[in-house]
């Protein structure tokens, strides 16, 4: 009987723990710079509605903007994130990690603009200000450790930190202290800084 071959954790920027859905909304990183920042977001479409396929369709440019009144402002919008962590902890990946996804928009961190150039974007299914599921925290920690083993990640921040004038996600409902505890020993700086986080 032939031995079963183990699937690699990563293949050309795609994580084996995620369902791959390649988005057209991507591009090369300037100078092929490896990502050193992770930006966390929250999203639900329509706002507050969970477990549908609208977010996936938005990132794939297949969203029917006539399907709901709140989608009208999304007509012609081209956005993406590297990963989308659903309420049940399942993960979808839309862009390879060595490529640039279109998630942060006009942004700045530590004096440097255009965070998309050197960051990985992770969307959490949810609404800013509301709580997130335990399965999401568990999977997020696992995903972050996998990313940090593959790329020189130094910091984890929220969209609200890199675009404070425009964005408030993941918002007050996201428990940074919980993430910090689950990532202890990973050597990553998590913002806002928590006791014991480096």
Q: Which of 174, 180, 173, 182 is CA-nearest to residue 195?
A: 180
Helices (H) and strands (E) in the chain, counts: 4, 13
Q: Which residues contact 193 (CB under 8 A, 6 or more apart)?
A: none
123 is annotated as an active-site residue: yes
Tell me the three state secondary structure of residue 14: strand
Beta-ladder partners of 43: 125
CB atoms within 10 A of CB 178: 15
Q: Which of 171, 175, 191 is CA-nearest to residue 138?
A: 175
Residue 11, H or E segment: strand 10-11
Q: Which residue is catalytic, options 99, 123, 125, 128? A: 123
Residue 91, H or E segment: strand 91-93
Tokens for 188, please give them: 């990553």
Give catalytic residues, as residue numbers: 123
């Amino acid at each position: 009987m032939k031995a079963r071959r183990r699937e690699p954790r990563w293949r050309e920027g795609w994580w084996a723990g995620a369902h791959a859905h390649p988005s057209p909304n991507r591009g090369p990183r300037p100078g092929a710079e490896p990502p050193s920042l992770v930006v966390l977001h929250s999203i639900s479409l329509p706002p507050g509605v969970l477990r549908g396929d609208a977010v996936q369709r938005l990132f794939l440019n297949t969203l029917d903007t006539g399907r709901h009144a709140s989608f009208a402002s999304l007509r012609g919008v081209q956005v993406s994130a590297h990963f989308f962590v659903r309420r049940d902890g399942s993960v979808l990946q839309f862009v390879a990690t060595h490529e640039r996804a279109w998630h942060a928009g006009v942004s700045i961190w530590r004096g440097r603009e255009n965070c998309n150039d050197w960051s990985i974007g992770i969307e959490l299914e949810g609404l800013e200000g509301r709580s997130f599921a335990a399965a999401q925290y568990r999977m997020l920690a696992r995903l972050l450790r996998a990313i940090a083993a593959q790329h020189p990640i130094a910091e984890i921040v929220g969209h609200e930190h890199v675009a404070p004038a425009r964005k408030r996600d993941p918002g007050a409902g996201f428990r940074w202290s919980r993430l910090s505890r689950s990532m202890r020993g990973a050597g990553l700086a998590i913002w806002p800084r928590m006791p014991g986080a480096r």
